[in-house]
Structures are given as structure tokens and as C-alpha cells.
Amino acid sequence: MEKTDYPWTFTSVGGTVRVKITSGADIAHLGELDRKLWTVLSCPTRNLEFDQKTLDLLDADHDGNIRVDEVIANAQWLTGILKDPDMLLTRGTEIPFSAFNEENPDGAKLLASAKQILKNLGLEKDSIALEDTADNVKIFADTKFNGDGIITPASADDETLSALITTITETIGKAMDRSGVEGVTAENIEAFYTALSEYAAWQDAGTKDVFPFGDKTADALAAVEALKDKVADYFMRCKLIGFDAGTSAAVDVSVDKIKAIEGNLALASSAIGEEPLAKPTADGLLPLDAVNPAWKGAVEAMRGLVLEEGKATLTEAEWADIVGKFAPYTAWMNDKKGAAVEGLGLDKVKEFLKADQKDALLKLVEADKALEEEALSIEAVDKLLRLYHNFYDFLNNYVVLADFYDADRKAIFQAGRLYINQRSTDLCVRVDGPNADISALSGMYILYCACKSEKMGKAMNIAAVLTDGDVEGIRPGKNAVFYDREGHDWSAVVTSIVENPISLRQAFWSPYKKAARWISDKIGKVASDKAAKGEGTLSNITQSATTAPAAGAEAATKAAPFDIGKIAGITIAIAAVAGVFTAIVATLKSLTWWQWIILIVALMLVISLPAVFIAWRKLRRRDLGPVLNANGWAINAASFVRGKFAKSLTKLAVFPKLTAVDPAARRKAAWRRFWCWLIGILVVAGLGLYFTDNLKCIGLPFHKEKPVEEVVDEGAAAAEEAVETTADTVSAEEVTEG
């Protein structure tokens, strides 16, 4: 049950009220802190810039995540062992013996273990340091027993037993002792003696009947197996000839295949070996002196091991009888047991069985296991020292997340620094891969990058957050360089981007940049279409030149019908536009210089304010939580990234003011600025013309010469007169044609 009686201290961290850990008592009472007030409820044990062994020790159930209950359990264990829990805030690496709480059973046990460690190391001092427990091998190097249930040759005083332990490691298997030496377990010892007994019994079952050819039985079987398929093939060919003499040529040696072999036939034994073992005949006899040259060696080896001397032929029945003689031997071999100790030889196996030192070895294992609790206590001392040094830092990244907002420290999830596009960002998180759906909820501009280090032969993925500057030139596929916390450099490539506003300045200019891109794209598209149309026209002209002249002349005489309605409509539209344009020009003539400034500023605000407002809302809500949630964290409180703190995470390139510049380059830059300003003013003025009528609401005297209505009426009258004139002209032309 959660309690709230303890007087916690609270502070504002990252735009959220959080508990503040300022003493060892706060750590001891973490179990009483309402879980709704914890910043983190779970974090992964991988992809963090933190001592990996400490993370594994905190993860008691080894599920790859550290949860609140595990943090509380370690906090209570740690503060119970130390007399003064405030020592945890020092992040020390050495604990004096006087600091152990001997009234706590764990404290007394760990103190004894700490003294034993120093004794094993041959050190005389009154404190234990992290470097003293970092190397288990060194601690147990000169010990016969260390509680891991593994005995080494050094565990036995008797040389015979030491040699026997070595034999077991070489035949059955081995285990690595805490001292760093190979040894054996009770299971290895049992398996060794079982193998000895089974191998001896199997050898005793090998009677004379099992070995039809005595000591040469194994070699004889190998020689027969080598010819078994080839001999069966030969006798089948003989049977086919006996069945139908007409098949003789088909089953005999292929003369054509032999002819096809080029070069030295002595080097073509593989191709020759594919031919029959001997020339097949209807009588079914295998002539042992006239076999395929490629198989002659194998046949001779078999004759010497299996057949009587002088035997020149072999029938199928005789061959089957030879093969059958190996059945008992084959069955015996298939039943082999204790093969692991076969290499020792039967005599050595029987010698080990007769000596029967199994119980002596098992007693050594029991003697080793008797020190298990003491050995585990020694490992617990290492855990104590690691938590003593690292636990307070972990809490500042788990309970509070204070290290992330500390300018002098970095959070354990900050993997390093990414350099890209004349800026660097310190908010880089190691990830398994892009998770844009969740990360987009953070409201931050995130670059997912694939990083690779050729030097170390490693690869990883990061999520890099940009919190200042613009995004021009940043795109998937762009190369960058990432430096990890240890200073190693990695090649980085942007794989995907989660787009969100970066700053109000960027948001203010974004509509103009989008408009410029749109215009550029349109101009490019028009130019491309014109080029394609020109190529098509040229192609049509070329094709037309090849057609019949008469057909071309006839088509040329056909004129398009005259549409008076279309001409009138176009004329009216042009006249109306001219009227509006005349009214706008008249209005602009009446503006003073300060009205022009107000007009331009108003237009810019109208265009940019919506984008700025949307960006402001998103920037206020920028939250690190979704980024961490997408990578295995369970974030329990908002962790805002705003204002100056956000800008501190991304550093832009700062250039010095140049005093010596090439005059020609300076003039060129001045003209560039002039044309940019001129184009900008013309664009703004053009937009202002469109919105002029809407500015009446501010009471500006736009019309000193004529009201806009009169100018528009005059334009409309001129348009009607033009239409009538056009109609009269068309009628006269029709009469003339008639």
C-alpha cells in the first residue's frame, strides 16, 4: 500500500512538478512515494549510456526492463547496509569498513565478505573499493574452492586426482571456474564414469563371431562398402543382357563417351569411372582381372582383404555372401556406447574403472559447494559497490529525470552528438529502428539515422532531435557524422524524418519558402512542358513534310469558324480586369509612405501569423516522453523541451564577421541582396493590391482623386463600347462576304 506521510520535497523540472531526491532518507523512503509521482515506471536495460553490469543487477527478474518495484527493493537493501545512507549522494567508489551497518544481517555478512576479498587479494586496508571487486578471476585466483560447484586440477592435493580432472575436461566436457581455470562439475564426473562403464561393456560384447575377418574386419568392411553400389550396377547390366541380348550395346561401355574425352585419359579417371565396372556378359561373372581401370585399385584392395588368393571371378551370390558376413559387425558397431572415452583405449578405460576415484572427485565438489554462500556474498559486495557509485545517478534519470535538464550532466539515454547541416544536436537516443507513429506525438523534429563504425565493426540506429535552426537541405539519404559518449565517430545516414516545427523564426518564413518552392516547381514544370511540346511540334512538322502536298493544301484552305460569342466574352473579361487594375492603381497612388509600411507589415502578418500560431502551440507541447516511449521506456510524466533549454540542445554554426572580402565578391553580394529585396517588395506589393479593398476597415484615406466605384463604372462602360464596336465590325465583314 502506498503511503504519503513522508515529507517529500518537490521542484519544477522540465515544466512538470517532480519530487526532489536530496538525501539518503529520500532514497530509503522511495517505497512510500506515490507511483503516480514517479517520472518513469519502466526503462530498458539496453541502449543506455550507463554501467551495464549495474543495470543488470537492478533488473532482478532479468526481463530486460527495470521497474519501480525493483528500484524500491534495491533502494531498501542498499540503505539498510550503510549506516549513513547520505553517502549514496557522493557517488563514491570506496566504502570504509566503519560505514557498514553490522546490526543489519546483510551488512555484517557483506563486511565479512569484503575482508575475505582483501585477504584473497593479499591487501591490508580498512576499506573496500570498486576496483577490488571488479575482477572475480583475480579474487579467486589462488583459492582451491570458491563455491561455484566446479573443481579444477588445483582443487585436488593428490596428483592422480588432478590428472583425472584434466582427463575428464579433455574427454567429456568442461566448465569455467570462478578462478578463470577450466574444471569439471559433478555432472561431468558422473558422465565420465558412465561412459567408461558403457564402453567397457560394449567392447566385451565384441566376440569372435562379430569379426568375420579378425582385426582386418573394419578395413574389409570399408573396402566392400566402397564397391557395393558399383558391383550391384554391374550385375544388373548382366541380368539385362540375359533378359534381352539386344541390350548388350546399351549397357556396355559407351564408345562415344570415351571418344568425347579430350586430352590425357589418365587424367580423366572420374569420367571413365562412370562406365560399368567390367564388360557385362550374359553369364553374370565379374572378371576381377579385367575391371574398369578407374576401379582397379578398389577391387584389388577388396580382393586382398576379403577373397581367397587366386580367385579370379565373382558371382552375384558370392558377393551377397561376402556382404552378409558383416551384418553382426555392423549391428555391434551401431550399438556402440561410451564413444567419448574411446580415444583413451580399452586398457586405460579399464584402469580408470579399477581405480574407481569417482567418490573422491564428488567429495571435492561438495567441499567447493560448501563455500557457495560465502562466494555469493563476495559477489554481493561487488553489487553493493556498483550501486553505491551509480544508484543516485540512476534515480536522477528514473524518479526525477533531473540529469536531462542539468546543463552540466547528460541523461543516460543521451547517446552522443550528431553533426549535420552546420549544426550539432545533443539529444540523440539509441533506438532499435524508426517508430515515427509514436514519436510524431512528441511535436519534435526527429531525424532517424543509421550509424556505422568501420573501426569497431558495429552498427546502430539513433533518433536525433533538432530544436533550433531551419531544415533546408535536410532530407532522407543525407550523410552526417555521429560521435558517441566515448568520442568514437560513426558514419550516419538519415533514413527517415518526423517533421514538426523547430522555431517561431522558421515558422514565420515557412509560407514564403513554400511559395518560392511552389513557383520554382511550376516554372520548372512549364519549362518542361514547353520543351516537350516543342519536340512534339518539330516531330509533327517532320511527319507532315512527308505527306501528300494535295492533302496538305486542301487542309490549309479550311478555316476555323468565327465565334463572335467567344470574342465578346474575352473582351469583356479583359475590360473588367483592366477596370479593377485601374482602380487599384488609383488607390495605391493615394497611399503615403507610412501607409505603405503598415500595408506591407499587415500583409506579412496575415500570411505568417497562422503558421506562427500553430508552431507556437506545438513548440509549447514539445515532449520528450513519446520519443522515449517509442524505444521501450514507460514515461509517467510530461518532459517538455522548451525555450532556452531547447536551443541549448542544438547548437548552430557561428561565423565571425569578415573584414577582408574580395571587392568583386562584395559587389556581387550587394547586387544579389538588391535583387532579392526588389523581388520581395514587388511580390508583397502585388499581394497588397489584391487586399487593398479589405483595408478600408482601418480608416485609411485611399481615394483622394476618384472613388473606386466611379473608376470601375468607367471601365465597365468602356468594355460595353468595345463589345458593340466589335459586333458592328463583325456584321460588316459578314455583309461583305455575302
- Whether 348 and 330 map to the same domain: the answer is no
Examine the pLDDT at 623 and tell me if it is beyond 70. Answer: yes
Q: Which residues of 30-51 are buried (b: 16+ CB within 10 A; e: fewer)?
A: beebeeebbbbbbbbbebbbbb
The answer to whether residue 454 scores a pLDDT higher than 70 is yes
Report if residue 244 sits inside a domain: yes
Indicate whether 696 pLDDT > 50. Answer: no
What is the grid cell recorded at 13?
523540472
- Contact (CB, 8 A) for 686 and 515: no
pTM exceeds 0.95 for this model = no
**Cβ atoms within 10 Å, residue 387:** 21
If pLDDT is split at 50, 70 and 90, which confidence band does 721 have? Answer: low
- Cell numbers at residue 718, please? 468602356
What pLDDT score does 631 carry?
A: 83
Is pLDDT of 138 > 90? Answer: no
Residue 408, Cβ density class (10 Å: 0-12 exposed, 13-18 middle, ≥19 buried) = exposed
Question: Cell numbers at residue 330, please?
Answer: 555392423
CA distance 124 to 106: 23
Q: Does residue 527 or residue 701 have the better pLDDT? A: 527
CA distance linking residue 444 with residue 498, whole number of Å: 8
Q: pLDDT band at residue 557, thresholds of 50, 70 and 90?
A: very low
Does residue 663 surpass a pLDDT of 90?
A: no
The count of structural domains within the chain is 5
356 and 217 housed in the same domain: no
Is 2 part of a structural domain of the chain? Answer: no
Within this chain, do residues 689 and 714 fall inside the same structural domain, yes or no?
Answer: yes
Within-domain flag for 537? no
CA distance 488 to 301: 65
More confident residue, 238 or 589: 238
pLDDT band at 360; cut points 50, 70, 90: very high
Between 465 and 604, name the one with better pLDDT.
465
Instruction: Give domain status of residue 538, yes or no.
Output: no
Band of residue 677 on the pLDDT scale cut at 50, 70, 90:
confident
Q: How confident is the model at residue 319 (pLDDT cuts 50, 70, 90)?
A: very high
Candidate from 184-188, 319-323, 692-696 with smallest mean pLDDT:
692-696
Among 285, 312, 334, residue at a domain's last position: 334
Per-chain mean pLDDT for the chain: 82
> Does the pLDDT at position 501 exceed 90?
no
User: Which domain range does residue 347 map to?
Assistant: 153-205+343-369
Taking only the tens place, the pLDDT of each residue in 32-73 is: 999 999 999 999 999 999 999 999 999 999 999 999 999 999
For 277, residues 6+ apart whose C-beta sits below 8 A from its C-beta are 227, 230, 231, 233, 234, 286, 291, 292, 295, 299
Question: Which of 334, 357, 383 is where one domain is finished?
Answer: 334
The reply to whether 30 and 129 lie within a common domain is yes
> Does residue 476 sit within a domain?
yes
Q: Which three cell numbers stand for residue 554?
A: 486542301
Mean pLDDT, rounded, for 161-181:
90
> Of 174-178, 293-297, 333-337, which gets the smallest average pLDDT?
174-178
Do 319 and 450 reside in the same domain of the chain?
no
Question: Is 557 contained in some domain?
Answer: no
Least confident of 40-49, 103-112, 256-265, 442-451: 256-265
**603 and 647 inside one domain:** no
| Confidence check: pLDDT of 615 > 90 | no
- Report the pLDDT averaged over residues 403-415: 93
Mean pLDDT of the region 571-589: 64
Q: Which residues contact 167 (CB under 8 A, 6 or more apart)?
A: 192, 344, 352
Q: In whole angstroms, what is the distance from residue 599 CA to residue 595 CA? A: 6
**pLDDT tens column, 17-30:** 999 999 999 999 99
3-state helix, strand, coil in the chain (%, to 5): 60, 10, 30
Cα distance between residue 41 and residue 634, in whole Å: 5
* C-alpha distances in Å from residue 214, one per residue of 219, 261, 333, 497: 10, 43, 15, 78
**Does any domain span residue 146?**
no
Residue 176 has pLDDT above 80, yes or no: yes
- Per-residue pLDDT for 203 more than 80? yes
Q: Which of 523, 535, 529, 449 is nearest to 493 (CA)?
A: 449
Give the pLDDT of residue 353: 93
650: exposed, middle or buried (C-beta count within 10 Å: 0-12, 13-18, 19+)?
A: buried
440, 320: one domain: no
Residues 104 and 228 in one domain: no
> Is residue 531 one of the residues assigned to a domain?
no
Residues 526-532, mean pLDDT to the nearest whole number: 74
- Are 190 and 299 in a shared domain? no
Do both 685 and 647 map to the same domain? no
Q: Do 169 and 227 fall into the same domain?
A: no
If asked whether residues 31 and 124 sit together in one domain, one would say yes
Q: Is residue 254 scored above 50 in pLDDT?
A: yes
